[in-house]
Homo-oligomer: A and B are copies of this chain.
Amino acid sequence: MKKWYEKAGDQGDIIVSTRIRLARNLRNCPFPCKLQKDGMLKVDAAVKDAVLNGNSAIAGEFDYIDMGSLTQTDAVSLVERHLVSPEFASDREGRGLLLMKDESVSIMINEEDHLRIQVMQQGLALDEAYQMADHLDTLLDERLKFAFDDRLGYLTQCPTNLGTGMRASLMLHLPALQDSGAMNRIAGNLSKLGMTIRGIYGEGTQPKGALYQLSNQVTLGLSEQAAISNLKDIALQLVAQERAARETLVKHVETQDAIGRSLGILLYAKLLNNDEFMKLISNVRLGISMGLIDHISYDQINTLMIEAQPATLMKHAGKNLSPSQRDQRRADLVHSQLTH
């Protein structure tokens, strides 16, 4: 079965993926941070039961993963595949994960909240992802009874999630805007509009791979539909700005050179560390959108960007690898993925 990130998406030249995340808690049960291990296990069992043993259409779609039984490598690989948060992977006792077989839906149990329902889609797919999340929310609420207050909405451990409990995010590839130095200004403007944008890999002004996450900040006093609509409007403005910046860049032979070299190195290197890989693959992604590279698809790029991450590399190798061994395996993987 194809993973969600192996399918092409709308506005895929710039919008890599869409994520909807709902924070939910069980009624009459303390938040996870207030639970002992037996309390956490009870929550875990209840959620697991609701998903896997419910008579709903979704029961057969999910696998359950006991986080406490995972190796560090397998846990970090889940982070690299954007299925769980780094915090969830680092402290695994009493936590569980329900994972849809195509990895498009994950339900973290006992993260900051009892449930974090997350739906991922390729490209711009806010409405589809929200519908899926809403559908799951409805099904699970019938069995689990979520904590809800008529005035505050869904109750969450952190007040910034109160209300809808929804965080909608888009992963954007913004190399041309980053290159133009516009990102700081853009981030400042977006925060006034109740949005945040930040680098996905690495903090600072030049995130690795020029990948940014744009998210809504406001969850209180605004419907899910309104939040999603705002996010989409702003994302499409950023997409237009990025496309305009790319049109200027593509005319420069220096850009064409940098993109060509990036592809050449990816195809022929025998050692690739992750930082360099992210920089090169970002250039190749840009090259595809500019029509400079025509035999590589966004799906291939998106897949590689996940498969080439350190823990996921080791997971596929079935053993721990030294940094140098990883660099070698990454180069081999990139070569084989881009040439077949």
Name the one of B254, B261, B324 contacting A265, with C-beta atoms under 8 angstroms: B261
Nearest CB to that of A262 among chain B residues? B268
In the bound complex, residues from chain B placing their C-beta under 8 Å from that of A270 are 253, 256-257, 260
Name the one of B256, B264, B268, B271 contacting A254, with C-beta atoms under 8 angstroms: B271
Nearest CB to that of A270 among chain B residues? B257
Asked if A331 is at the interface of the complex by the 8 Å CB criterion, the answer is yes
Binary contact readout A316-340 vs B (1 if CB under 8 angstroms, 0 otherwise): 0000000010001001000000000
SS class, residues of chain A in contact with chain B: helix
Expressed in whole angstroms, the Cα–Cα distance for A97 and B240 within the complex equals 62
Q: Looking at the assembled complex, report how far the CB atom of A100 sits from the nearest CB atom of chain B, in whole angstroms.
A: 38
Interface size grouping (class) on chain A: 10 to 19
Judge whether B269 and A331 touch: CB under 8 Å: no
- Residues of A253-285 whose CB lies within 8 A of B: 253-254, 256-257, 260-261, 263-271
Q: Looking at the assembled complex, report how far the CB atom of A270 sits from the nearest CB atom of chain B, in whole angstroms.
A: 4
Name the one of B261, B269, B324 contacting A260, with C-beta atoms under 8 angstroms: B269
Q: Which of A253, A270, A331 has the most CB of B within 10 A?
A: A270
In the bound complex, residues from chain B placing their C-beta under 8 Å from that of A265 are 261, 264-265
Q: Looking at the assembled complex, report how far the CB atom of A188 sits from the nearest CB atom of chain B, in whole angstroms.
A: 35
Q: Which of A260, A264, A268, A271 has the most CB of B within 10 A?
A: A268
Judge whether A263 and B268 touch: CB under 8 Å: yes
Q: Looking at the assembled complex, report how far the CB atom of A293 sits from the nearest CB atom of chain B, in whole angstroms.
A: 10
Q: Which of A261, A266, A267, A331 has the most CB of B within 10 A?
A: A261
Expressed in whole angstroms, the Cα–Cα distance for A266 and B268 within the complex equals 11
Nearest CB to that of A258 among chain B residues? B270
Judge whether A264 and B257 touch: CB under 8 Å: no
- Residues of A225-258 whose CB lies within 8 A of B: 253-254, 256-257
Expressed in whole angstroms, the Cα–Cα distance for A240 and B328 within the complex equals 31
Nearest CB to that of A328 among chain B residues? B253
In the bound complex, residues from chain B placing their C-beta under 8 Å from that of A328 are 253
Expressed in whole angstroms, the Cα–Cα distance for A324 and B253 within the complex equals 10
Q: Which 10 A-B pairs have the closest CB atoms?
A: A264-B268, A264-B264, A260-B268, A257-B270, A257-B271, A256-B270, A264-B265, A261-B269, A260-B270, A263-B268
Q: Which residues in A have some Cβ–Cβ distance to B below 8 Å?
A: 253-254, 256-257, 260-261, 263-271, 324, 328, 331
